[in-house]
Amino acid sequence: MNVHSDDSTIAVDVMGADNGVSAFIRGVAYAIKNFSAELCKVVLVGREGEVRDAIARDKLGKFFEGVSIIHASQEIEMVDKPMSALRNKKDSSMFRAIELVKSGHADGMLSGGNTACLMAGGALKLRTMHGIDRPALCTMIPAPDHTFALIDVGANPSSTAKNLVHNAVLGSHYFKAAANVKNPRVGLLTIGTEEGKGSDLVCEAHKLLKLASRDINYSGLIEGFQLFEDTVDVVVCDGFVGNILLKSIEAMAKTLKAHIRREIRKNPLRILGAILASGAFLDIKKRLDPDKFNGAPFLGLNGTIIKSHGSSSMEGIASALRLACKVVRALKLGDLGKIVERVNLAINQP
């Protein structure tokens, strides 16, 4: 049953992810089963026959009673290039879902498909908000005692200082909505906290962020070792640095997990110790579970687009859908537009 607590609608692109249609359908069903009170109305977008076959094959029909399926004849694959896809795959599930947001028939969309095509489609069809030059991709990172937002994690590898200021505004506004924090602390990532330390881009952005401090709770420069120390709530960087940082964090987590498992298995005493400490290991796993933090919004567009990892598990897809519903309810683009206008006036003064 498609239970939802308001009239908001999320269009779910169920095609194009790494694990196919069935994986996304199972993820949506898991969300409806476990988080129904938190969800919006859901609309599935994809090849209707394949979608219905996937629902029937896994016997999930009871979860999709009353859920609409919007037929899209094409699928954007991971190898597709943005400009080619925009020209040749206009009836793809991804672009049809974005069109639903543009037309007002959906309040947001979720996709696990090609990131570059999703970015291009969103920017072309929804356009950036007035005053924002480029959208940015934001994600939540779990730390031992807090969670922080990292922006940009890959939408714009080459940025200007003004783009970084906009990232700070977008990340701060998003963190308020996603984490229910009234006045998020914002930090600019660099190689040292002393004035003048870092690239020309960082130094210029630092100056502009101080000018914009009326609307951004700017805490100043931070270094990489401070990220997990609850120093700030929003970490700002360009997409080149952010993408490398995000992938490095994910790789380190996997490496550390494998290393601990290998060392524990070396002798019986360590195995016994691991058994005795199993409760602690379980708590750590729950706290750092990437499935809980799946879903990254493209911020700065005239509409909500949430990107899920292409290889997400059922639980991860459900978390991304849950986040999409939370964002469309809490992210007030009208309020954000006023903040952007004030910030642009501040940083453009002579």
As a whole number, mean pLDDT of residues 278-298 equals: 70
- What does DSSP say about strands 296-299 and 304-307: parallel, antiparallel, or unpaired? antiparallel
94: tokens are 């991804």
Region class of 204: left (phi > 0), else alpha (psi between -120 and 50), else beta: alpha
- Residue carrying the six token digits 């007030």: 332
Least confident of 14-23, 145-154, 247-256: 247-256
Q: How confident is the model at residue 162 (pLDDT cuts 50, 70, 90)?
A: very high
Question: Where is mean pLDDT largest: 46-50, 154-158, 173-177?
Answer: 46-50
As a whole number, mean pLDDT of residues 134-162 equals: 89
Output 3 or 156, whichever has higher pLDDT: 156
- What does DSSP say about strands 304-307 and 234-236: parallel, antiparallel, or unpaired? unpaired
Residues whose CB falls within 8 Å of the CB of residue 311, separated by 6 or more in sequence, listed in order: 17, 18, 19
Residue 1 has pLDDT above 60, yes or no: no
| Contact criterion met (CB below 8 Å) for 9 and 41 | yes
pLDDT (tens digit per residue) in 93-113: 999 999 999 999 999 999 998
pLDDT (tens digit per residue) in 301-326: 999 999 988 777 888 899 899 989 98
Residue 283 has pLDDT above 70, yes or no: no
Q: What per-residue confidence (pLDDT) applies to 3? A: 46
- What does DSSP say about strands 136-142 and 147-151: parallel, antiparallel, or unpaired? antiparallel
For domain 133-295, say whether CATH 3.40.718.10 is its number.
yes
Average pLDDT, the chain: 88
Residue 84 has pLDDT above 60, yes or no: yes
Q: How confident is the model at residue 327 (pLDDT cuts 50, 70, 90)?
A: confident
Residue 166 has pLDDT above 50, yes or no: yes
Residue 88 has pLDDT above 90, yes or no: yes
128: tokens are 């950036």
Q: Given 3.40.50.150, 3.10.180.10, 3.40.718.10, 3.40.630.40, which CATH number is that of 1-130+300-331?
A: 3.40.718.10
Q: What per-residue confidence (pLDDT) applies to 4? A: 47
Q: What per-residue confidence (pLDDT) applies to 342? A: 86
Question: Which DSSP string corresponds to 169-230?
Answer: HHHHHHHHHHH--SS--EEEE-S-SSTT-S-HHHHHHHHHHHHTTTTS-EEEEE-GGGTTTT
196: tokens are 């003048």
Q: How confident is the model at residue 197 (pLDDT cuts 50, 70, 90)?
A: confident
As a whole number, mean pLDDT of residues 277-300 equals: 72
Residues whose CB falls within 8 Å of the CB of residue 155, separated by 6 or more in sequence, listed in order: 119, 134, 135, 136, 137, 239, 298
The pTM of this model reads 0.84
Output 349 or 248, whichever has higher pLDDT: 248
329: tokens are 């309810």
CA–CA separation, 260 vs 284, rounded Å?
13
As a whole number, mean pLDDT of residues 68-95 equals: 94
| Contact criterion met (CB below 8 Å) for 30 and 64 | no
Percent of the chain with pLDDT over 70: 93
User: Rounded to the nearest 5 degrees, what angle is found at the Cα of 328, between the Cα atoms of 182 and 109?
Assistant: 140
- The number of CA neighbours under 13 Å toward the Cβ of 125 is 26
- Residue carrying the six token digits 């984490």: 179
In the chain, where the domains are located: 1-130+300-331, 133-295
Q: What per-residue confidence (pLDDT) applies to 19? A: 82
Q: What per-residue confidence (pLDDT) applies to 292? A: 67
Q: What per-residue confidence (pLDDT) applies to 2? A: 47
Question: Where is mean pLDDT largest: 213-217, 225-229, 233-237?
Answer: 233-237
Instruction: Tell me if 1-130+300-331 shares its fold with 133-295.
Output: yes
Q: What per-residue confidence (pLDDT) applies to 122? A: 93
Sign of CA dihedral 110, 114, 115, 117: negative
